[in-house]
Chain A
Amino acid sequence: MKMKKRAFLTGACLLVAGMMFVSCEKEEGSGTGGNEKAKILATVDMLPTSQVSYLLPIQDISASNPTFDEAQEIKTSNYIVPYKDWVFIVEGMSGGDVRKFSRNDNGTLTELGRINVGGASATVSHVCVISDTKAYATAMMDNKIVIFNPTTMQKTGEIDVAGKGYGINQNDTPNPMGMFLRDGVVFCGLGQFSQPPMAVDKGAYMLLINAETDQIIKMISDNRLTSATAIGESGMFLDEKNDLYIPCWGSYGFNPEHHSGLLRIKSGQTDFDPDYCFQLTGRELPEVQGGKLQYVMNYHYAGNGDVYFFGYCPAFASTPADFVNDKTNYSFKGNIYDCTANVLDLPRSNAYSCAINHYGDKVLFGVVSESNGVGLFAYDRKNGECSTSPVINIQGSILSLKIFD
């Protein structure tokens, strides 16, 4: 109905504009369409009243109230992997497809193709683009890495990781998840699930793959933290020294022995750095209600050692947990070198909305707050100020956020 009204109004506007020979400008702040490619992309879940989510293009940070007119329908809990002007949508636990979109010059998106990756389990965890003609997609529950041509979206091969000894505790299934390409080597986190999201045992495990030969180089592990990378998001990042940081989600803290935080593989190395562990589960954090976090996810590195993340605080969880009304997630600013973290003065969010990225000096947090609004809140790195309301209003849970500077 709304669409029909909108179409009618649009038609009426065009008619009037044509008669008056004046150009019709887009609605201020709508963030829809324009003369350049969308600089911000977000996946937005509308759960629980709708099982449809959206890939939402936003012109830039000035679009304070973007509409969903140009949004593309996707499944729930989908994630974005950008590569040049392509955008890959990874269906995570809700489907086995990787979908490819292009960012158009008029701010819209066009779907260019798709490939089914997780044929047996209907899950796909992540995409890592090696080149214009080669990409990896992790079929987490199929336990293989599908190699495909991202230009044609055709499968060209696969790396079977099942039954090769990479599963722990006599499991055949290491569950490949997030990936990162550094110096010709793809670092692939392993879930090692007993049942998602629980790992079968503590420890962070990764496969190292030669991106040229597609051969598995080796598996590495570290017992200090658990569950390297995450479903849908690699979360891994490089600092200015080419050191690779690997987030570990720690089975959402459901097992108290499974800790979350960051591990590191130094530049030129292929093993975890034994001297580095930024453990966040159980760490005493005086600004946090109850003093401790249950788990941490969705890290974003903004440079100069600054890392931003959400932390789940169990002190705000009802018994039993109320996923909608409990505002459990603090926004944090941390430092990867001195392993410190401070709560930012942003409203707490529920645990669904968890996307972070930065746009210039502004670090954007997807927040569903109780009384301050819903959308992207900003932390200004220049002056250290936090917005008290969304700088971009987006209704829904923002799962993934990509910025194209």
Chain B
Amino acid sequence: MGPMAHKVVNISMSPDKIMLGAVEVVGIGERKSIRDAKDQGVPVTVIDGKMLAGRGTTISEVLNHQTGVKLRQTGGVGSQTKINVRGLEGNRVQIYMDGYALNTPDGNFSINDIPLQFIDRIEIYKGIVPPEFGGDGLGSAINVVTISTDKDFYDFSYKYQSYGVHDAVATLRHFFPKANIAMTLYMNGIHALNNYTIESPFIEGLKIKRDHDRLRMLDFAVGLDFLNGYFDKAEVELLGYLNNKQMQGIETNIRHTFTHGQTYGANFNFEKKSFLTKKLDMKLNAGYLFINSGLVDTCSYITDFDGNVRPNTVRGEMGAIPNLSDDYTHDARYNLNLKYNLLPEGKMSINLNNDLRYVNMEMNDDEAGRSLGRNVSGLSSDIIGAITSLSFQNRWFGNKLTSVVTGRHYYFGMNGETVDLTYPGSGDTPVNTDRGGNYFGYSLALKYDITRQWALKGALEHNYRLPRSEELIGDRMTIMTNPLLEPEEAYNYNVGVLYDYYYHNESRLQFEANTYMMNVENMMYMISQFNYYKYQNLGKALLYGVDAEVKWDINRHWFVSCNATWQKSLDNTKYVLGTNTPSQTYRMQLPHIPILYFNWMVDYRKDNLFGGKGQYTRIYYEGGYTDKYYYGYELSKYQNYKIPSACIHTLGLEYGILNRKVIFGMECHNLFDTPEMTNFNYPLAGRTFTLKVRFTTLDW
């Protein structure tokens, strides 16, 4: 090397302005929050909330197109909706919002009351639930994560749906920098007639116009975020929820019965990384709800579908007694999560989660008491549920293997007064029921990245679903107390394989398949005799199945997906209940649970499809097929009580202007008006149109 080799050449660039027509960043990826959720060893499906922003549908309808998930509905907006995950439903599937149990004691607030546009993502855990979720359940859970933004925004949407459904949502979030506060105001109102016509499943040739199914709902919240303080996140929220729902009769013509409820509460949320020590992260959520609810069913006559009026023996149109209930619930809960990072970047950590819930219920119903001839009002009960879990997470073999091992302790205590409804019983004298129990569960979740594209998942879990207050204590009217009730218990096993391949910068192919087995014991059934009801631990179930899903981002405009689920839910009770006689239904398919279903989707999105700028167009088509399943055991050749197979098609259009500050949405659910039923003898609406308009200042 000569001296010239050291010559320095100075180059300077003068600035110049060139206006580019557009800068296009090509490539698809996944947000970290979604990737993190999928990276766990547990089987999970994650739905990106951005795909839902302009749609006029509901969360449960979105869930209905996922592997392992089926909706069970009895009617239109506000009707009973159960989400069936891998054959389990009701209280056996826990619903969370932002990681905290959503289920209200009276079931007033439902997952469908969360507006789609404020959902960041939906996580569907199937079989095994991560340790940071504090609730109980038999291993399946749905966590709805709402959006979080650090900018002011204003958002208003209005939706009109067939059969008289009006749904309006307004949200305002404003930052006050001087006060270091951000305030969120939120309000949602729904007025739904649900006035579709069905063919009576009970009387041949009778068409029933659903004219007593109106829902009125108002949901509001005020939130304050305290910024730049000791905590990374400090939120206080005050909320309210009012509803009034008529009851629609199908077998009988209910004309006057309705339910009503009001809920008020406060919620506190604090989060801090490096809490007390550098390696400790803390999340604390605490809340209180006051709920007042009632059933009004006192009609002194009954009516048939021809309008003929008959005198009523018992008063009330539903059940064997009249009701004019005025029930009060105080629900206090908190969840503390402490995560100690033993190694950085999430390589090794210990997680302690403590979830406590206290519910006090007071039931009043003088009308029912008069009918029963005994004073059953004013009795109250307390129930405590505490779930503590300790988990250890580690990454092994150069981060290829992720493991989470968890131990979980469940405690429940219950104390309450009831009256023994059956003779000789206790007459008017209240009987005190005091009951508690400790239970231990565990789980292990593993994920192994074989290659960059391929990964394996494996998990096992032993968990409990604690009895609810109504199940233990009853309602003092027709549901009897059962202090001997034990929690439902499950042993779950899951093995899965994942394939995730990015190519050509803008294409991605994903595949996931899971197989599972669940052994459920102490299943609770409601049984009846003499017109009284009681929950008892009576059955065992063996659930197993396979589900698989393929998602293909062909390019940045086209996306297709399809999934299939085959699940068996077998009666695993060897003997006829209460006997040692071998049962003929042992290992037969349990009634009223879907077995086989498929979903598919084609989605096309393009900016400025019709020219111009700042426009966004999305056209999507979804299809779903559910095979028939039976209302009873398949014992006879003439098994006609069934939920028929149905193939439902949905077509939708989203059109955004002004960089999606204004979005118009149109959707037609059940395009071909196919008869649809997801609960035996409860026909659904058929073809349904939805129109939605949304104004938002949120960035996309």
Consensus secondary structure, chain A interface: loop
Which one of A128-136, A272-280, A317-325 is at the interface? A317-325
Q: Which stretch of B164-172, B297-305, B599-607 is in the interface?
A: B297-305
Q: A96-B202, A121-B252 are in contact. Are A73 and B529 (CB under 8 A)?
A: no
Partner of B202, one of A71, A95, A322, A370: A95
For chain A, residues 159 to 185, give those with C-beta under 8 angstroms from any C-beta of chain B.
Answer: 162-163, 171-173, 175
B635-A54 in contact (CB<8A): yes
A95 touches B251 (CB 8 A): yes
Q: Smallest distance from the beta carbon of B525 to chain A beta carbons, Å?
A: 4
Indicate whether A43 reaches chain B with its CB closer than 8 angstroms.
no
A290 to B: closest C-beta gap in Å: 12
Which single residue of chain A is at the shortest CB-CB distance from B320? A195
The A-contacting residues of B in range 530-553, CB under 8 angstroms, are 530-531, 534, 536, 538-539
Evaluate contact between A323 and B252: CB separation under 8 angstroms. no
Whole-angstrom CA separation of A51 from B633 in the bound complex: 9
Task: Give Cα A314–Cα B634 distance, bound, in whole angstroms.
Answer: 36
Binds B, one of A19-27, A82-90, A250-258: A250-258
| Residues of chain A contacted by B568 (CB below 8 angstroms) | 1
Contact among B311, B538, B641 with A162 in the assembled complex (CB-CB below 8 Å): B311
B637 — nearest CB in chain A belongs to which residue? Answer: A69
Residues A371 and B420 in contact, CB atoms below 8 Å apart: no
A195 contacts B372, CB within 8 Å?
Answer: yes
Whether B399 sits at the interface, judged by CB under 8 Å, is: no
A116, closest chain B residue (CB): B203
Inter-chain contact B634/A2, CB cutoff 8 Å:
yes
If A51-B632, A52-B633, A195-B321 touch, whether A395 touches B581 (CB-CB below 8 Å) is: yes
User: Quick one: given A49-B539, A175-B313, A196-B531, are A371 and B580 in contact (CB under 8 Å)?
Assistant: yes
Task: Give Cα distance in the complex from A386 to B640, angstroms.
Answer: 38
Q: Which residue of A lies closest to B584 (CB)?
A: A395
Report if A173-B312 is in contact (Cβ < 8 Å); known contacts: A3-B634, A350-B578. yes
Give the shortest distance, in Å, between B505 (CB) and chain A (any CB). Answer: 47
For residue B280, CB closer than 8 A to chain A, the reply is: no
Chain B residues, Cβ within 8 Å of A93: 531
Rounded to whole angstroms, the CA-CA distance of A371 and B585 in the bound complex is 18
Interface secondary structure of B, over-half rule: loop
A332 vs B657: C-alpha distance when bound (angstroms): 82
Residues of B within 8 A of A227 (CB): none
Contacts of B252 in A (CB 8 A): 120-122
**B219 is an interface residue with CB less than 8 A from chain A:** no
Interface pick from B282-290, B377-385, B458-466, B587-595: B587-595
Q: Are B423 and A324 in contact (CB under 8 A)?
A: no
> How far does the Cβ of A154 sit from chain B's closest Cβ, in whole Å?
13
Residue among B303, B305, B633 with most chain A CB within 10 A: B633
Can you list, as one digit per residue, whether each of B421-441 has a CB less than 8 Å from chain A (1) or not (0)? Answer: 111110000000000000000
In the complex, A205 has a CB within 8 A of chain B? no
> Which residue of B421, B579, B585 has the most chain A CB atoms within 10 A of its CB atom?
B579
Q: Which residues of A contact B584 (CB under 8 A)?
A: 68, 395
Chain A residues with Cβ under 8 A from B425's Cβ? 320
Residues on B with C-beta less than 8 A from A97 are: 202
Residue A144 lies at the interface, judged by CB distance under 8 Å to chain B? yes
- Tell me whether A301 is interfacial, beta carbon within 8 Å: no
Residue numbers in B under 8 Å from A322 (CB-CB): 536
B617-660 interface bits toward A, Cβ cutoff 8 Å, 1 = contact, 0 = none: 00000000000001111111111110000000000000000000
Question: Smallest distance from the beta carbon of A317 to chain B beta carbons, Å?
Answer: 8
The interface residues of chain B lying within 8 Å CB-to-CB of A369 are 579, 581
CB nearest neighbor in B for A94: B251
**Known contacts being A173-B311, A194-B371, is A254 close to B578, with CB within 8 Å?**
no
Decide yes or no whether A352 CB sits under 8 A from chain B: yes
B149 contacts the other chain (CB 8 A): no
- A70 and B251 CA atoms in complex are apart in Å by 27
Contact of A120 among B303, B373, B482 (CB under 8 A): B303
Report the Cα distance A201→B215, complex, angstroms: 40
A119: contacting residue among B304, B421, B580, CB under 8 A:
B304
Name the A residues within 8 Å of B343 (CB-CB). Answer: none
Contact between chains at B310 and A143 (CB < 8 Å): yes
CB of B450 within 8 Å of the partner chain = no
Question: Across the interface, which residues of A come within 8 angstroms of B480, CB to CB?
Answer: 320-321
Q: How far is the CA of A5 from the CA of B479 in the complex (A)?
A: 40
Q: Tell me if A98 is interfacial: C-beta within 8 Å of chain B.
A: no
Given A2-B588, A163-B311, A374-B579, A71–B636 Cβ distance below 8 Å? yes
Q: Would you call B310 and A162 a contact (CB within 8 A)?
A: yes
**Please, how many angstroms separate the alpha-carbon atoms of A314 and B530 in the complex?**
14
Which residues of A lie under 8 Å from residue B590 when comparing CB positions? 49
Distance between B1 CB and nearest chain A CB, rounded to angstroms: 83
| Interchain CA distance A368-B583 in the complex, whole Å | 12
Would you list which residues of chain A between 26 and 51 have a CB under 8 Å from chain B? 46-51
Which residues of B sit under 8 angstroms from A350, Cβ to Cβ? 578
Contact B641 A395 (CB under 8 A): no
The docked-state distance in angstroms from the alpha carbon of A100 to that of B525 is 32
Q: Of A194, A319, A373, which one neighbours B581 at CB under 8 angstroms?
A: A373
Query: Which residues of chain B are within 8 angstroms of A71 by Cβ–Cβ distance?
Result: 635-636, 638
In whole Å, how far is B260's beta carbon from the nearest beta carbon of chain A?
Answer: 24
Complex Cα gap A253–B585 (Å): 34
Contact among B303, B314, B526, B631 with A193 in the assembled complex (CB-CB below 8 Å)? B314
Q: Quick check: is A141 within 8 A (CB to CB) of the other chain? A: yes
**Is A70 within 8 A of B636, CB to CB?**
yes
The answer to the question of B576 belonging to the interface, with a C-beta cut-off of 8 Å to chain A, is yes
A60 contacts chain B at the CB level, 8 A cutoff:
no
The answer, yes or no, to whether A244 is at the interface (CB within 8 Å) is: no
CB-CB nearest in chain B for A144 = B310
- Residue B554 at the chain A interface, CB threshold 8 Å: no
Q: State A69–B580 Cα separation when bound (angstroms).
A: 24
Q: Mark A222-264, 1 if CB is under 8 A from B, else 0.
A: 0000000000000000000000000000001111100000000
Contact yes or no, A49 B571, CB < 8 A: yes
A298–B320 Cα gap in the complex (Å)? 23
In the complex, the answer to whether B423 meets A142 with C-beta atoms within 8 Å is no
Please tell me which one of the listed residues A47, A294, A395 contacts residue B583 in the complex, with CB atoms under 8 A apart.
Answer: A395
**In the complex, how many angstroms separate the beta carbon of B435 from the nearest chain A beta carbon?**
13
Check A72–B302 contact: CB distance below 8 A: no
Shortest distance from the beta carbon of A354 to any chain B beta carbon, whole Å? 11
A359 → chain B, closest Cβ, in Å? 22
Q: Which residues of B contact A69 (CB under 8 A)?
A: 635-637
Taking a contact as CB atoms under 8 Å apart, the answer to whether B536 and A195 are in contact is: no
CA distance A122 to B303 in the complex (A): 11
Query: Is the beta-carbon distance between A49 and B576 smaller than 8 angstroms?
Result: no
Known: A51-B632, A119-B308. A3 touches B538 (CB 8 A): no
Interface check A207, CB cutoff 8 A: no
Residue of B nearest to A140 (CB): B313
B527 at the interface (CB under 8 A from A): yes
Whether the Cβ atoms of B311 and A172 lie closer than 8 Å is yes
- Is B306's beta carbon under 8 Å from chain A? yes
Question: Which residues from A are CB-within-8-Å of B253?
Answer: 120
A370 vs B576: C-alpha distance when bound (angstroms): 9
Contacts of B373 in A (CB 8 A): 194
Report whether B591 and A52 are in contact in the complex, using a CB–CB cutoff of 8 Å: yes
In angstroms, Cα B630 to Cα A218, docked, is 48
Complex CA gap A183/B312 in Å reads 33
Interface status of B577 (Cβ within 8 A of chain A):
yes
Nearest opposing residue in chain B for A390, CB measure: B581
**A contact set with B: CB distance below 8 Å:** 1-3, 46-52, 54, 68-73, 93, 95-97, 114, 116, 119-122, 141-144, 162-163, 171-173, 175, 193-197, 252-256, 294, 314, 319-325, 327, 350-352, 368-371, 373-374, 395-396
A-B contact pairs, 11 of them (CB 8 A): A52-B633, A54-B636, A70-B637, A70-B638, A72-B636, A120-B303, A122-B251, A194-B313, A195-B372, A195-B531, A320-B420
Q: Give the interface of B toward A (CB within 8 A).
A: 202-204, 251-253, 302-306, 308-314, 320-321, 371-373, 420-425, 480-482, 525-531, 534, 536, 538-539, 568, 571, 573, 576-581, 583-585, 588-592, 630-641
The 7 closest A-B pairs by CB, nearest first: A52-B632, A119-B304, A68-B635, A254-B423, A120-B304, A173-B313, A48-B525
